[in-house]
């Protein structure tokens, strides 16, 4: 009997850790109010197409990379919302919670296209590219899906020169002009600083749970 119990426990553990089991990658790490809310689920398809992408029935791992986005407004960290690029109301999308924040994922296959190749599963700031096409997406495409203005002078309704806006990639300052074309390549850390500077500009992110 003891042998049977041990075997049963091993089977359960293996099932929980299997790649085929529903899971949500990343870790919730909200350290401030939302920068801007995620769009309503019924707008996800339209915004994905506006970004030059198409919704899919599940994630594809031909091109699987993670970038990280931090947003600071007047020195305070603002959270990137979970569920950008995901039709979170689809019944095939698993809804969870971590540290009191929502998480979305575990998609084995939706009856209707429900997830963009470019999306967020949680509020960690990790931007996932899980695509059939071996090409990096861009920061501008992500903001299109977020439905937040992002161009050479403005982020949302905050615009230069009235409001200072500074971008950093891996801790190094880059120009706002042309920043929408920044590739979301693997392990890239992007910080958008609006108004006053924070105490520290991040130069790298933790991707261990992505």
Q: What is the pLDDT of residues 146-199, one digit of tens each?
A: 999 999 999 999 999 999 999 999 999 999 999 999 999 999 999 999 999 999
Residue 108 — left, alpha, or beta (φ > 0 → left; ψ -120 to 50 → alpha)? alpha
Output the CA torsion sign for 55, 60, 65, 69.
positive
- The CA-CA-CA angle for residues 137, 144, 113, to 5°, reads 75
Are the C-beta atoms of 136 and 77 separated by less than 8 Å?
Answer: no
- What is the pLDDT, as a whole number, of residue 18? 32
pLDDT band of 63, cuts 50, 70, 90: very high
Predicted TM-score of the model (pTM):
0.86
pLDDT digits (tens, 9 = 90+) for 17-60: 333 323 333 334 555 699 999 999 999 999 999 999 999 999 99
pLDDT in tens, 91-117: 999 999 998 999 999 999 999 999 999
How far is the C-alpha of 197 from the C-alpha of 11, rounded, in Å?
51
Residue 32 to residue 174: CA distance in whole angstroms:
24
């Amino acid at each position: 009997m003891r042998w049977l119990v041990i075997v049963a426990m091993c089977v359960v553990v293996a099932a929980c850790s299997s790649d085929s089991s529903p899971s949500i990658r990343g870790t919730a790490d909200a350290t401030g109010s939302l920068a801007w809310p995620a769009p309503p689920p019924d707008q996800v398809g339209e915004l994905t197409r506006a970004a030059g992408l198409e919704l899919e029935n599940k994630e594809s791992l031909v091109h699987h990379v993670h970038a990280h986005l931090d947003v600071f407004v007047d020195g305070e960290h603002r959270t990137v919302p979970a569920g950008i690029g995901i039709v979170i109301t689809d019944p095939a999308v698993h809804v969870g919670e971590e540290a009191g924040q929502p998480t979305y994922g575990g998609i084995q296959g939706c009856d209707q296209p429900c997830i963009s190749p470019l999306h967020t599963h949680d509020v960690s700031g990790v931007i996932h590219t899980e695509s059939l096409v071996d090409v990096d997406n861009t920061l501008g495409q992500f903001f299109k899906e977020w439905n937040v203005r992002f161009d050479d002078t403005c982020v949302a309704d905050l615009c230069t020169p009235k409001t200072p806006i500074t971008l950093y990639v891996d801790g190094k300052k880059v120009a706002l002009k042309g920043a929408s074309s920044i590739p979301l390549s693997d392990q890239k850390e992007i910080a958008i600083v609006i108004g006053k500077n924070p105490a520290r500009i991040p130069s790298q992110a933790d991707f261990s749970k992505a």
